[in-house]
Amino acid sequence: MSADLINSVITQGQNLATHSWEYGTFAEALLEWHNPTSSVFGSNAFPDGKVPVLQVANTRSLSYVKPQISTSGDTLVDGDGAAGDPASLGVSAILIGQTDPDYLSAAERQVEHLLTAVPRYSNGAISHRESVAELWADFIYMAPPTLAYWAIQSNNSTLLSIAIQQCVLYREVLGVLGTAKNAGGLWHHIIGPESQDLGIWSTGNGWAAAGMSRVYATAKKSRFASNEDIKSGLSDIKGIIQGILEGAMVLDNVEPNEPLLRNYLNDTTWFGELSGTTLLTATAYRMAQLEPADFGTTYTSWADSKRQTIVGKINSDGLLSPVVNPLDWNDKTPATQSPEAQSFAVLMFSAYRDFTSGSSKRQVASHRDLLFFLGG
């Protein structure tokens, strides 16, 4: 796989993104790819316990996303009815805010909006929707990482605990809990009165697991990591991530002739697709990087197999396919374009590079090194 093709994956991701969560996810992917030491997975995530100061003009992630962020409202971008999606830009806004106070104020308003204005489910979980209490697995990638990052910015261990607890509260509601065969540990997609989807959507499980990995990394690298409540919460979400990955692997092993995870993991009438497969693969590498004793070769060998398949399905234009229609998860026609799938590939490339490099010195390995890793 050539450097030009990797750049094409990134170019396609930038060209295709048009929605709030797509902007936020692509910005995170660019940060992890181009500035690995400064992401929450990096060796210098919080210098002196603080959010790093990056120059926006020299940081592709931030210069890309800055025009998409509103500094005048209670949310960072129009979420089109979603409460969680605008928060996907929160980490970017906080980073930009280190040198531009308007963006820091906007990020603070976004956090306050989530905490005080958005409806809550009966167990206290913050709704993914503005108008009704409804829980979507997608929320976990969008909001808790921003809550956790703002906790670092504001030196607030209580808020960090809240970010972790939101993941646990979502698991209480969305967790399959063994009600579907071989699906224990996996999550339903949506529970609520308007858009309920009890299916075990692969991308939704990817959103949840990957979002929790970001919360986990943020808390583990924070000055609060030794606090007993934080340690307890980290243990909780580590187990939840393991449950999702192991559930996906179990269902994957049931079908050795299908190299990709199906769009709905326990439904063989669905096609195998790249979005959920890619994000869950990225998460396996991230957790192996963070906790190698708990995410060993069972996880990484599975991820290696999936990565090799994924790379083989990226066309010469840098597009991943087949993918699920990102705006209609019930569409059984395999799609050929997905902004989030492009971002997920970049997240996977970054995660694999950082996992393979294994040390802070090699964590800033060149893109040439990554090309070698991808073929391995």
Tell me how many domains the chain contains.
Answer: 1
- Cα-Cα end-to-end distance for the chain: 11
Comparing C-alpha atoms, which of 275, 274, 279, 264 is closest to residue 332?
Answer: 264
CA distance 30 to 32: 6
Residue 280 structural domain: 3-375
How many CA atoms within 13 Å lie on the side-chain side of 140? 34
Domain at 26, CATH number: 1.50.10.10
pLDDT of residue 179: 47
DSSP-assigned letters across all residues of 69-86: --SSSSSSS--TTBSSGG
pLDDT digits (tens, 9 = 90+) for 121-133: 999 999 999 999 9
CA distance 130 to 376: 45
Cβ atoms of 283 and 241 closer than 8 Å: yes
Which residue numbers in the chain have pLDDT < 70? Answer: 1, 177-183, 359-376
Binning the chain into helix, strand and coil, the percentages to the nearest 5 are: 60, 5, 35
Helix and strand element counts for the chain (H, E): 14, 2
